[in-house]
Amino acid sequence: MKKLLMVVSVLLVAFTLSACSPKEEVETCTNNAANGTLYEFDKNQSEIITIKVWLDDEAYATALIDAFEAKYPDIKVEWDEVGAVDTRQRLETYSGSSYAADVVVFPHDHIGAALNSNLLYPFPETQRQDIVDRMVGSAVGTATSCYDSENNQAVSCTGTEESKLFGAPLSGESVALFYNQTLLEEFNGSPEPETTWEAIIASALDYNQVDDPTTPEINEAQTYFAMDVGNAYDMHFAATAFGFDLFGENHLDKNAANLGSQEMIDALTWLNSTLRPAVNDYNASTLSGEANRQLFESGELAYIIDGPWSIQRYKNAGETNDFEFGVTKIPTINGVQPITFSGVQIAAVYKGSQEPTAAFKFVEFMTSAEGLEIMYAQTNKLPALKDVSNIEGVATDPYLSGISAQLAYSHPMPIIPEMGFFWSNAGTMYSQAWNGSATPEAAATTAQEGFESQADLTN
């Protein structure tokens, strides 16, 4: 009996040391004798590595992590919900602590500041090459930089430094032309969108004329198209159609904001004298983003400049208000195809990660065909792939195909820190020139001077 009690005692001690609880299907347990290391006892006691990931969509995070852990059972992924636009600042705050994530996702225009804060791990060369081979070149370029490791800052590539990849593109987005097929069918006899702004303007001037002297009770002008005039992101298409280049040809020269250039003045002149009369001379505040979206939702607007973030909203509105819509690239202006800003969501590995190998494996899965299929299925975002034909549903998506068509005529928002001084100055410039509260020349000059002052370029 004493021998039996001794055996039981030994077994209990051993069980306590491993801190395992009996289950029909044993998954993992903590081995206290090994300082808390996780093991999978049903898989030859393989060690479990844990990484933390920050993502901003619960459905996407859950589906992605479940699929990844099924493929890599030796890696456990913890997830925190962090908005993409908040990620870089939060990583700066928690850098060096256990609260920092191993893998993060953020907009590409945050990458310059992230590099200056020494937050990002460069990608292994083999993984970089795979991304270069499969992903859209301009998207890869947003996460590629030369880096001065001694001073912890991104630098211009002069030929002596070797460029490195610091992030993997996941999705791309751009504004495009959304059109109400049902309304166009009623007004033009065809659901197909017009392909030039000249044609849209001509139709708008006709569509707007609802005032009929024989029916004086009808005196409310209609609106054929709308855009968020004070939003420099949305309005960039007009400037590029007249040859405007922000920060020069490579979009990296802070001394070449070019807001006061003749190209910008020509664009502002066209907006005020040609486009505004076709929208009943409404001022910029009337044509705000939300007001425009509500008009399109109600089925009263033939065209709107908008982005993929509004697709689901318009699908819901179309079902409620009985209209169909489509998305296509922005029409030409004087025969020139406008270029828009594109935004790219970037996945990156934190430089302070204690498990960089596992973190890069997770990013590799995120950018794989399986990972991007999950992203599309859960978020309806457009994968930043050169060829989307192997992502189920994307190639035949009637809305994302239009976004993709415009992405072919887009360039990424510049990543230099001075980009922050562009937004407010350019937005005010567009509004003033559109409203006529300043001449195009005066609005452009004021914007250029404001940018130079804020960017400390006046000396």
CATH assignment of the domain containing 313:
3.40.190.10
Residues 140, 86 share a domain: yes
* pLDDT band at residue 19 using 50, 70 and 90 as cut-offs: very low
Average pLDDT over residues 166-192: 96
Total-model pTM: 0.77
Residues 132, 213 share a domain: no
Mean per-residue pLDDT over the chain, rounded = 87
- The answer to whether position 12 is within a domain reads no
* pLDDT band at residue 46 using 50, 70 and 90 as cut-offs: low
- Domain count for the chain, please give it: 2
- The answer to whether position 2 is within a domain reads no
Residues 297, 368 share a domain: no
Residues 334, 228 share a domain: yes
- Tokens coding 141: 């370029």
- The answer to whether position 9 is within a domain reads no
Residues 43, 28 share a domain: yes
Residues 439, 301 share a domain: yes
Q: Is 434 exposed, middle or buried (0-12, 13-18, 19+ CB in 10 A)?
A: buried
The parent domain of residue 186 ranges over: 176-342+415-454
Residues 115, 30 share a domain: yes
Residues 232, 281 share a domain: yes
* pLDDT band at residue 15 using 50, 70 and 90 as cut-offs: very low
- The answer to whether position 1 is within a domain reads no
The pLDDT assigned to 389 comes to 86
The pLDDT assigned to 415 comes to 81
How many percent of the chain have pLDDT more than 90? 69
- The answer to whether position 59 is within a domain reads yes
Residues 206, 143 share a domain: no
* pLDDT band at residue 88 using 50, 70 and 90 as cut-offs: very high
Q: In the predicted model, is pLDDT for residue 14 greater than 50?
A: no
What are the pLDDT digits (tens) for 199-233? 999 999 988 765 545 544 444 668 999 999 999 99
Q: Greater confidence, 1 or 439?
A: 439
Residues 323, 240 share a domain: yes
Q: Flag the least confident range among 26-35, 121-130, 176-185, 396-405.
A: 26-35
